[in-house]
Amino acid sequence: MEQVVERPLVCVDAGSEYCPCYLAASGECFVCSLLRGQKFCACSWSGTCSYLHYLWSQGKIKTRREVEVKVMHEELGPHLVRLVLDLPPAWIQELGNPGAFLFLRPENLPPTAAVPVTLFEISEAGAEVVLYVDGPKTRLLALAAATSCLVAKGPYYNGVQGLAALKRARGEEAVLVAGGVGQSATVLVARQLLRGGNRVRACLAPGRAGVNYAAGSLKALGVEVREVKSLRAEGLPLVCTWLQEKPAVVFSAGPDALHREVAALIAKAGAGIELATSQNAVFCCGEGLCGSCVTFTTGGRRVPRCKAQFLREEVTPWLK
């Protein structure tokens, strides 16, 4: 009996409260070769066994819940709204890590109207998100938030690629580069890096958000913040000088074009610097089902970006 070993991928939900998911039931789990119908076990190992989870669950799929949440609403600018959500206490714990996000929708609209929003900050006051209003879903959500409760679904975890690199950095230098609404992902990333005893520096530019709304929170945490008007003109040259000090990791938050530029700077600066990025895929269901965030790895495998953490050289195909 000959075997073929397929390169394993990491799933952010593997072994969590939300494993097994629909992908296990459909034989499409991209982590577990046995759930994909192969004969032998070969996974990237998340610290737990997805096959075991599936067997013990007896085929019952673990899904996320929807809860009704009270909202406090504050306009930060013409298109920018800050929402403070009164979430269940259990969610507050789970949403405190980099990459955490939720789907939010108005009470009276169907799940298709739900907007994926990154957790900006978690505090005793609740969970903060910043909404950039630029399309029908965000506009309807902003209107509803001003007048009534919202429905939140979550928690989801894969808003950041390169989570392992952020966790690995200990007692080193770390750099954040964020433009526009990319700033929303920086605070939880900074918290993680600071927990690891790293010295964190951030370069922020307002971009289309019009304001460096993350600057205050980052400074309060002890991050050295440099605010620039434009990342391209001022920010990246500054980051270039920071890279000379060989930080362990750089977190790029913004459009894919920014990730590409940062990746090129890192490549020039030499080996040993890891890259983590914000996710810019379109998320609709968050469960790996709808196909809106599907990408293909360098090996040609079809994987949903709402769940997959890519291994090192697979981090780039969607940046090309």
Using CB under 8 A, list all residues that contact other proteins. 1-3, 5, 32-34, 39-45, 47-49, 51-52, 55, 168, 274, 311-312
Contact assessment for residue 248 and residue 198, using Cβ atoms and an 8 Å cutoff: yes
Of the pair 42, 290, the CB lying nearest other proteins is at: 42
Of the pair 103, 310, the CB lying nearest other proteins is at: 310
CB of 8 to other proteins, least distance (A): 8
Give which of 108, 115, 151 is closest to 131, Cα–Cα: 115
Of the pair 249, 285, the CB lying nearest other proteins is at: 249
Contact assessment for residue 50 and residue 61, using Cβ atoms and an 8 Å cutoff: no
Of the pair 16, 44, the CB lying nearest other proteins is at: 44
Q: Tell me how far apart the alpha carbons of residues 43 and 158 are, in angstroms, rounded to a whole number.
A: 19
Q: Tell me how far apart the alpha carbons of residues 293 and 89 are, in angstroms, rounded to a whole number.
A: 29
Contact assessment for residue 281 and residue 295, using Cβ atoms and an 8 Å cutoff: yes
Query: Which own/partner contact pairs does 30-36 have at CB distance under 8 Å and 24+ positions apart?
Result: 30/301, 30/303, 30/304, 30/307, 30/308, 33/6, 33/8
Strand order from edge to edge, sheet including 173-179: 160-161, 274-278, 249-253, 173-179, 199-205, 224-227
CB of 46 to other proteins, least distance (A): 9
CB of 109 to other proteins, least distance (A): 42
Contact assessment for residue 159 and residue 188, using Cβ atoms and an 8 Å cutoff: no
Of the pair 238, 311, the CB lying nearest other proteins is at: 311
CB of 44 to other proteins, least distance (A): 7
Count the residues in the chain. 320
Q: Tell me how far apart the alpha carbons of residues 137 and 111 are, in angstroms, rounded to a whole number.
A: 11
CB of 2 to other proteins, least distance (A): 5
Of the pair 197, 291, the CB lying nearest other proteins is at: 197
Note the Cα 138 to chain centre separation in Å: 19
CB of 34 to other proteins, least distance (A): 5
CB of 222 to other proteins, least distance (A): 27
Of the pair 45, 296, the CB lying nearest other proteins is at: 45
